[in-house]
Amino acid sequence: MAPVVACIHSEKYLFTVTLTSSSNFSFNLQDLDGKYYQRNEYLPIQLSSINKKHPIKGIFFSSDGDPCIVGQDNYLLVLSRWRDPLQATWIPLLDANEGIKRISAGDNVNCWPLGLFKDQFNFVAIRGSEYPTFPLALPAELPVKLPVSSNKQDKKKKKKTDELGEELDDDQDNDKADEEDDVNDPEEEVVRYTALGELLNDAISNDDVLDETAEERLKELSIKYDSALLKQFIESCNDSNLRDAFYLATKLRDDRALMAATKVAERLEYVSLVNKINKLREARMFDDE
């Protein structure tokens, strides 16, 4: 058998990482009775020929029971849809390097992963060292934020020009705008809440989550998902992109969100869009009945 290089277990499952070649790894996921859910599947972490450090910094189960792994690149990967054959997918939920830059002062700050509790990444911040030192620093948290790019960020980074066409030195203003845009990027929010909702819903459906508030959290994620979609809907309406606006409206889950989208379209006097959304609401009500 290929050598096991990492292993972790929860109350129900066993997760192992094996070295399959000189630089590639695979993983196995089984319950404690021996039933395999995933067997000899590719793990998107590689051993660098230059950096001889162990490629895995952290391996653990999230508080909702999903396998997680953090490599030397400090990306938090969570395994999704692993209970279904041939459906398992590793999702990058967080670039810890970017998160640390937002909350820490100074350079040369690294993280030692501890776990994923709901949507918070727990870690120990370390400075100027590969491993945590004694006495241990207090654990810190980073909210999950998917490492996705946005076209808006490129626009924000463009320097303003004065009336003569010369570039103005407003890097600080641009940096602040970038930070605000990163925090409130509706595209990232939609993807994030979709991923978190799928993970939590799968855990609830298979009785793998012990949190009594799981159902409430799932509803809250659905509300946040609709809220992020509404932001995109408003942007599309402001840009007079009615086709995209209606497409986003079809993705809204709650009828109250559809009503809010209707009011936005009415305020902008997009009569055809209002009619389409109303027909969509009527069709959903008919299906519910």
Q: What is the pLDDT of residues 65-76, one digit of tens each?
A: 999 999 988 999
Structure-token pair, residue 95: 């670039």
Euclidean distance between the first and the last CA atom of the chain, given in angstroms as a whole number: 56
Q: What is the pLDDT of residue 51?
A: 63
Q: What is the pLDDT of residue 280?
A: 93
Q: What is the pLDDT of residue 278?
A: 93
Helix (H, G, I), strand (E, B) or coil at 103: helix
List all residues 6 or more positions away from 70 whose beta carbon is below 8 Å from its beta carbon. Answer: 56, 57, 58, 59, 76, 77, 96, 113
Q: What burial class does residue 229 get, using C-beta atoms within 10 Å of its C-beta: 0-12 exposed, 13-18 middle, 19+ buried?
A: buried
The rounded distance, in Å, linking the Cα atoms of 132 and 39 is: 33
Residues with pLDDT less than 50, the chain: 154-169, 171, 174-175, 177-182
CA 105, 110, 114, 120 torsion-angle sign: positive
- Type of residue at 261: A
